Amino acid sequence: MIEELRKKIDELDDKIAELYLERQRTVREIGEEKARTHAAVLDPAREKKIIARVTKQADDEQKIYLKRVFETILETSRAYQRRLVAPVTPLSDNLRRVLMEGKKYFPVSSTVACQGVEGSYSSIAADKLFEIADITFFRNFEGVFQAVEKGLCDYGVLPIENSAVGSVNAVYDLMKKHRFYIVRSIKLKVCHHLLAKKGVALSDIREVYSHEQAIGQCSAYLQKLPSSVKITACPNTAVAAEMVANSDRNDVACISSRNCAELYGLGILESNIQDNDSNYTRFICISKTLEVFAPANRISIMMTLPHESGSLNRVLNKFSTLGLNLTKLESRPLPGTDFEFMFYFDFEGQIENSDTLSLIAELDQGTEQFTFLGSYYEVAQ
């Protein structure tokens, strides 16, 4: 019985495929006409009419499924037409101009802004990205953005996410405020150690300093310490090491790197105290100007979406239709709004690909707020 039904399904599938291909041939003709008349690919009113018409044929049980099928058909039709009618925006023109300048290679040396003090993980990332990094340190993440924006430094290096505790929300929130482009990223393995002045024993410790992310990454270890030990957050793991080194107290320790132990003359009380041995932090390198360095294979964008059902799913379908692998999706609330969000997307792709560039232009045209954050290469350590 089931084999007979499957045979019938196969026959129906063949008919659907035949009709779909016939539809695509007509879609191409419409696309060619749109290209000739400079008409937009997307016609929301027309698509709503199509959905309304075809779903009238279905009962209540099947209506939602038929709607989803035709939403996918319409999305693939638009993707096909975009090859014929490439959307043009100031952003896409700017990207094409940058690409026409030819391949550029990441600089060997430059001035770089980092948050914290010498020995911070951001500075370690900067030294990995540049063979010669002339680093200027700033008190907070906003100082790094401002240094790049004002031209005080050519580049800035900032932590963006950690494999154990997730996104660095403070950086994501600042990304909404500042103009910049991501030109490279690096995934750095992070090993945390408990540091104190030389000669101090673990039993002497009454307070531990570190950055909130490092505290979160070492939560299991910290829970094993006596409840009387105070855990104090500070701006940076290197700042924490500096605080311990400069303190008059002998009962304080910090969670920091082996590099900081050497820099600030501290001893290591406990090594590798992070909860997960595969503890990685991802850093981005930002620039004031739009630059695409070979071999760029990752793209980041941010946008707002209509506060309505299915708006995020429609955007995700665009990536799926083009076979683009989404590697990161983050949402952050927009202050002063009624539960509206800014969405951040990272995906694998080459900006020189015409389909990808057309998608960027379409999103730029079709969303209230859209920002292209960069096309770049990610270095793995």
Annotated binding site for substrate: 6, 23, 34, 43, 47, 77, 81
The DSSP bridge partners found for residue 280 are 189
Place of tokens 């030819």: 102
- Known catalytic membership, residue 283: yes
Backbone angles phi and psi of 97, in degrees to 5: -60, -45
The DSSP bridge partners found for residue 221 are none
SS3 assignment, position 176: coil
Write down the catalytic residue from 106, 130, 283, 372. 283
SS3 assignment, position 277: coil
**Cα 130–Cα 136–Cα 141 angle in degrees, nearest 5:** 95
CB 257, CB 237: distance < 8 Å: yes
Give CA–CA dist 41/358, Å, rounded. Answer: 11
Helix (H) or strand (E) holding 213: helix 212-217
Backbone angles phi and psi of 299, in degrees to 5: -130, 140
Helix (H) or strand (E) holding 294: strand 293-294
Give CA–CA dist 307/305, Å, rounded. Answer: 6
- Known catalytic membership, residue 281: yes
Give CA–CA dist 124/255, Å, rounded. Answer: 16
Which residues line the annotated binding site? 6, 23, 34, 43, 47, 77, 81
Give CA–CA dist 369/56, Å, rounded. Answer: 35
Helix (H) or strand (E) holding 169: helix 169-175
Tokens of 112: 């770089």
Give CA–CA dist 56/53, Å, rounded. Answer: 6
How large is the angle between the packed helices 121-129 and 237-246, nearest 10 degrees? 120
SS3 assignment, position 167: strand
Residues in the chain: 381
Write down the catalytic residue from 76, 237, 281, 356. 281
Q: Which residues are catalytic?
A: 281, 283
